[in-house]
Chains A and B, each alone.
Chain A
Amino acid sequence: MSEAKAATMDSVWHGGASPYAIGSKKFGMWLFIISDALTFSALLMAYTYVRLATPEWPKPFHFSPSIIFSSIMTFCLLSSSLTMVMAVHSMNHGNRKATVGWILATIVGGLAFVGLHLTEWLNLINNEHITVSGNEWGVPLFGGTFFALTGLHMTHVVIGVIYLGIIAFAVGRGKFKYEDVEVSGLYWHFVDLVWMFIFPLVYLMSAKI
């Protein structure tokens, strides 16, 4: 192992055992994140495309509840990112108990996000009569792109909650290492990051004034 470490100390361009000086799990997660970022970029672009090409784009997001809810959802995700950083920080210092606590706090933030988001969806479906294929504005593409984009993001959050649950459970039982917690943190921050684009582009740009 020390020889491998020495190899990484060589010039990066000589192809040491680890030219990026990070583990393969972390590098794998980074590659996944970049490809997932392209998926979300494509979806955001599809949304923006149909929006620009439609003269009367619906603006169904009232200040209350939609904008208030989505702002609180943003707060939940940002705060859960902070608690995730604290989890990684605790794990770095070998404090497994604190790590589990911080990860559980992160999970609570994620669940709050999903709960609020589903309430928001139901509000749109029941009160604004928006479905995947139709609405009162006669712009069916709104529902299609909106639910596809936010639905894929919510799926990521749900998967993240399950992923963090598994990590917390294992860390609590003395399994897994620092890198595993850090890699799950990368995924969680990415989910947060994507929302930083969906929130202004989808919600704020279509706020009903």
Chain B
Amino acid sequence: MKTLPKLAINRLRERRPLDAAAVDRFLARHEVPIVEGARCTFLYRGEADEVFLIHRIFGLPDHLPLRRLRGTDLWYAVLELPEGSRVEYQLEVAFADGRRERINDPLNPRLAHSPVGSSSVCYAHGHEIPDWTVDDPEARPGSLVDMVVPSRALRRDCPVTLYLPARFRRADPGTRYPLLIVHDGGDYLRYAAAKTVLDNLIHRLDVAELVAAFVYPGDRLTEYANSAAHARFLTAELLPRLEAELPLAGTPSGRCLMGSSFGAVASLSAAYRHPGVYGSLLLESGSFVFTDIGHDHGGGPVFEPVVRFVNRFRAAPRRVADRMFVSCGVYEPLIVPNRSMVPVFEAAGMTVRYVEARDGHSWENWRDRLRDGLSWIFPGPQKYIYE
């Protein structure tokens, strides 16, 4: 039987003298977390009573204790992560005076950002950040244009950011662009590099030249939780205005609603309320929480309207679009509802492409699935090009 090489932390444990200078040298030599094959060693250095690794990997205890290396102020925990995994985490440090602090890993400069703050990131062995998610000087940049759509349905002025592809031709009568409407638009632009991704994927011919409308929620947990007003805003106010003002395809196959988490619920709900309008849905880590029996869904009051909607959909599945791209991270609790919804969507007669990733409920996960989703929904002209 092949024996695994000794972990760096275990080699350090055997070192004598094991003093502060040895720990200094150890930390100077390694990136943290230390990734050795499937095993990742998380570290914290400092005086504390207890230290915990806090993560949201579904299936593991969310507080994993770090052990103190005897005679030092170095704490460690080893976690096995499958190939290609990406995990966001923080550390919780308990002090002797009773204080508890939750912090990003001070030894790890890699951070992920989201509307609720930042967290540290561990990239397991085999994980690669897709090159199409970073700025490519060869890719001609599209432009972002802000507009405001007054909404009677939502009783507010709704800001919308339009993405126009690099060679956008407003007056060319032969050109009709597909339209992608993106929920949580500001977050997709800021945390999922949506503009860079669109620029790159269009440049590489993976995705068709398209117009994207990034919409911003008001009261998100109300508007995105199966709200008739939100669906009306999208379909009866935003869509007609965009199709009147821009050279858009104006057909179901040229319209896609996209969102993640509650934004995916909002996409499904709008298509459900207006079947036949949207040909495609791109749903990332949808909050499709439901109950098979009883009322205990574990999501709290904000999920009540979502659960009612998803339960109703599951009881009487309806074909709300032609095609659905559905993705979810295997480390998020929503993996079970998402896996459960795929056969329901298929049974309703929709063509579903379902993708899982070893990732969590995070903007980088949603960013990294965009090529799979967008190239399937609005494929670029690559198959026509033979240079």
A and B: bona fide binding partners: no
